[in-house]
Structure 1
Amino acid sequence: MRLHRVSLLGLLACAGSAGAQVRPGIDVVLADSAHLIAHKRLGLLTNQTGVDAARRRDVDVLIAGGYRVTALFSPEHGFRGLEDRSGLPDALDSASGLPIYSLYGGTPLSRLGALDSLDALLVDLQDIGARYYTYPASATQLMREAARRGKPVIVLDRPNPIGGDVAQGNVRARAGDPDSAFVGFLPIPMRHGMTLGELLRLANDRLRLHVALTVVPAAGWRRSLYYDATGLPWVKPSPNMPDLESAMHYPGTCLFEGTNLSVGRGTSLAFQLVGAPWLDTAAVLRQLREAGGGMRDALRGVEVAAVTFTPDAPTDGKYGGVALRGIRLRVTDRTRYDPTKTAVALLAALRAVHRDSLRFNERSFDRLAAGSDLRRALVAGRSPAAIARAWEPALARFRRARAPYLLY
């Protein structure tokens, strides 16, 4: 196994008192590990989430501190996190005057001469805690190119917003290529319980990138902490991730992106809702609450209720301007809630009630579910409990396999 450097002062700071304000990696590197970036020409992969504890942009803080940031890189949704479309071009940051090289449709990294003039690359992105998020893929693409050119990479770590104790859902069998398997390329479960820095340590090892990787941990964070216990301001990691409630449901409800149901895009409650014009909410809720096969067990820690909503210009193109009948989820007990089991139970209930209306986009759903097994099990009528039991051996192996990469 390849070893990775960890900022020692930052790691010691992780053992701070329970009531301490969490400091993200950008604050830790400037206060405790400035030698990592001093007197170097720096590139910075970041977006709107790359801010310090006072919500000041990394790029501004670094430049104000006399550090030489010469190039910016942006992931999906762009440098400001406002875009929800493919093919984002390179751009310019008007505040700093620095070029922004888009890793989501801009100049290919292999042809990017700006990398040659850099001494080190910084990565500061807020991951969401679910396999489907693409920021780890963008960071891994940059790491791979950095390794080819002999450039070190420094990750300014951030908390996992939905905690680091729990791993849930099915596990991707093996690592994919971050280019061809951009969504969910790592061999991790739907809810993985790792920070971005930990994920990139895993990626460096499993993909044999051999990049000189240093992770500066977030000081004061513990695996049991959700984001609202960190004292840090919530900055939407992507346009349709409005708050922590949405993030807690996302490892499950994201699966509905691969169906003909809306997930609430175009509303203020994205990923807290599912709905469609044809949905019989009373019948589906009755199936969830009264049927066997693990349906009721899948509702532990969550409240489900009928709701109506109308998406306004949804970026997924589903039912814009159409009044939808739907189901809203609210977390009532974080310690008992498993969003992946709830999503599977809800899909099974929908299949039972609306066999002729529920549709899977096979390519999209299977990409999210890391293969066709889940879709085929649902179509075959397997119970939610049986589906979840089948995940357990791989989850147990993952919990053991992730241990060497954990920092907290």
Structure 2
Amino acid sequence: MSLSRRGLLTAGGAMGALAATAASAGPAAAGASHGKGRGHGNGGGQRVRTGFDRLAADGYALLKGQRVGVVTNPTGITSDVRHIVDVMHPDGRVDLTAVFGPEHGFRGTAQAGGSEGRYDDPATGLPVYDTYLKSGQALADVFTASGVDTIVFDIQDAGARFYTYIWTLYDCMEAAALAGKRFVVLDRPNPVSGRAALGPVLDPAFGTFVGRREISQAHGMTVTELALLFNGEFLKDRPAELETVKMSGWSRSDFFDATGLPWVPPSPNMPTPDTALVYSGTCLFEGTNLSEGRGTTRPFELLGAEGVDHRWADAANALELPGVAFREAYFAPTFSKFQGRTVGGVQLHVQDREVFDPVRTGIALLITAKRTWDGFAWRSDNWIDKLTGNTRVRTMIDAGADLDEVTGAWADDLAEFRAVRKKYLQYR
């Protein structure tokens, strides 16, 4: 079918979304190590078609007559692992004139907190502009200088509020509106499924690039759904001229391995979908003096510090959290905290992801780490407050609150966000 041009300018935005075609593959294979069900493998065949797959299959009709710039990174690939920029550039049906790189860069050469700057891409000769830490009029000026008419966004997300690509999306939408540019979002799966929103909702007073606006810590949405929510709730005074291209074949219950799509690490410390599964909880350890596993082959699954011993794993296992077990572990990070030094800690082993709650697990690990290791400390800049989106988590843990008390404190805010979120969900 032809993908028509329709601006999504209403508060809800959902009425303007492009309808998905029907799913084309059968049920997923059962029996993966994390549990059973539709979200656990599909026998190796591709079942999901991404937004780009559908855009290309339609002959790029949505981009006809437009000078196009793409916001993307190494995850912007086809099912046969070709980068979409390398596919579109020689194709006469699309006039691709610029690329915009996020944190870590277009080709993914930069570590956390870095980008690639402005350069010409050696493979295509296209100018690559740096969007990292640019927003508002400054980013609008970049879009204007690039000379594009339409900006296309295609990046794989990880499902957590503090994973910065969704705020690149937000900033680019806001800047596109300021610059008078059309904005097209191509959808990809939420790798940890789209079943639930979990965790505390950001207090706007704590808005940063790891959380601009009031969404939950694990949002359970895809990037097109987030784009619709951003436009309808947070940018409605000056909305982007937004169009979205949905996936086909994706269900909210699907984890990434059900899609048949190739996984490319969206950032250097997100090597596998297993990392994404725990990330929305264990990334909170960035706000402490413990290692969050950077510099190991299992970032965010390994956590620890010098002086930590078996008591942490014992205390965490005693909570009998659903779907996860904790192994006493020792490791020596090759970079980041404790570089080259052996630390003790835990490794998370998710045994049933259908019932695993990463945010509750992350809070449980903070509480038990503080209770079992005398050296526990928050980062001096209270980065934990930026990650949780409030002071309440930190102050309650410091006051000795238990797991149910801490996680219960955000129940009302989360219920309110879930009601808003529901308006923008595009898949069943």
TM-score normalised according to structure 1 size = 0.91
Aligned equivalent of 1:69: 96
2:282 is matched by which residue type in structure 1? T
Aligned equivalent of 1:49: 75
For 1:64 and 1:5, locate their aligned partners in 2 and report how far apart those are by CA, in whole Å. 33
Query: Which of residues 98, 113, 123 is equivalent to 1:95?
Result: 123
Aligned equivalent of 2:31: none
**1:407–1:174 CA distance, 2 compared to 1 (3 A):** farther
Aligned equivalent of 1:358: 376
Query: Which of residues 182, 186, 189 is equivalent to 1:159?
Result: 189
Query: Which of residues 295, 299, 302 is equivalent to 1:266?
Result: 295
For 1:176 and 1:303, locate their aligned partners in 2 and report how far apart those are by CA, in whole Å. 32
Cα offset, 1:16, TM superposition = 4.1
Per-residue CA distance 1:122-170 (angstroms, 9 max, x = gap): 0001110001111111122221121112211000110000000122111
1:13 is matched by which residue type in structure 2? T
Aligned equivalent of 1:237: 266
Aligned equivalent of 2:40: none
Aligned equivalent of 1:228: 257
The SS at the match of 1:21 is coil
For 1:12 and 1:345, locate their aligned partners in 2 and report how far apart those are by CA, in whole Å. 39
The SS at the match of 1:71 is strand
For 1:194 and 1:380, locate their aligned partners in 2 and report how far apart those are by CA, in whole Å. 33
1:191 is matched by which residue type in structure 2? A
Cα offset, 1:7, TM superposition = 7.6
The SS at the match of 1:13 is coil
**1:271–1:345 CA distance, 2 compared to 1 (3 A):** same
Query: Which of residues 207, 219, 228 is equivalent to 1:192?
Result: 219
Per-residue CA distance 1:193-252 (angstroms, 9 max, x = gap): 001111111112222241110110111111000000000001001000010111100010
Please, which runs of 5 or more residues in structure 1 have no aligned partner?
none
Per-residue CA distance 1:282-309 (angstroms, 9 max, x = gap): 212232234xxxx33xx21011101111
1:187 is matched by which residue type in structure 2? E
1:368 is matched by which residue type in structure 2? L
Aligned equivalent of 2:325: 303
Per-residue CA distance 1:362-386 (angstroms, 9 max, x = gap): 4311100101110001000000011
1:185 is matched by which residue type in structure 2? R
TM-score normalised according to structure 2 size = 0.87
Aligned equivalent of 1:275: 304
Query: Which of residues 125, 134, 148 is equivalent to 2:164?
Result: 134
The SS at the match of 1:347 is helix
Task: Report matched runs for 1:22-41 at 5 Å.
Answer: 22-32=48-58, 34-41=60-67
Cα offset, 1:33, TM superposition = 6.8
User: How many residues end up aligned between the 2 structures?
Assistant: 393
Aligned equivalent of 2:20: 12
Query: Which of residues 85, 107, 124 is equivalent to 2:154?
Result: 124
2:169 is matched by which residue type in structure 1? A
2:256 is matched by which residue type in structure 1? Y
2:76 is matched by which residue type in structure 1? G
1:332 is matched by which residue type in structure 2? Q
Query: Which of residues 407, 411, 416 is equivalent to 1:397?
Result: 416
* Identity level (%): 39
**1:3–1:336 CA distance, 2 compared to 1 (3 A):** closer
**1:6–1:401 CA distance, 2 compared to 1 (3 A):** closer
* Contact 1:251 1:339 (8 Å CA) reproduced: yes
* Contact 1:7 1:216 (8 Å CA) reproduced: no
The SS at the match of 2:316 is helix
**1:48–1:7 CA distance, 2 compared to 1 (3 A):** farther
For 1:371 and 1:63, locate their aligned partners in 2 and report how far apart those are by CA, in whole Å. 44
**1:122–1:14 CA distance, 2 compared to 1 (3 A):** farther
Aligned equivalent of 1:372: 391
Deviates more, 1:376-385 or 1:26-35: 26-35
For 1:368 and 1:90, locate their aligned partners in 2 and report how far apart those are by CA, in whole Å. 29
* Contact 2:152 2:185 (8 Å CA) reproduced: yes
Deviates more, 1:384-393 or 1:131-140: 384-393
Aligned equivalent of 2:341: 322
For 2:26 and 2:346, locate their aligned partners in 1 and report how far apart those are by CA, in whole Å. 37
The SS at the match of 2:224 is helix
The SS at the match of 2:20 is helix
Per-residue CA distance 1:95-147 (angstroms, 9 max, x = gap): 11001101116894243265562121100011100011111111222211211
For 2:264 and 2:24, locate their aligned partners in 1 and report how far apart those are by CA, in whole Å. 24
RMSD: 2.1
**1:255–1:113 CA distance, 2 compared to 1 (3 A):** closer
Query: Which of residues 274, 277, 288 is equivalent to 1:248?
Result: 277
* Contact 2:23 2:47 (8 Å CA) reproduced: no
* Contact 1:88 1:106 (8 Å CA) reproduced: no
The SS at the match of 2:410 is helix
Aligned equivalent of 2:132: 104
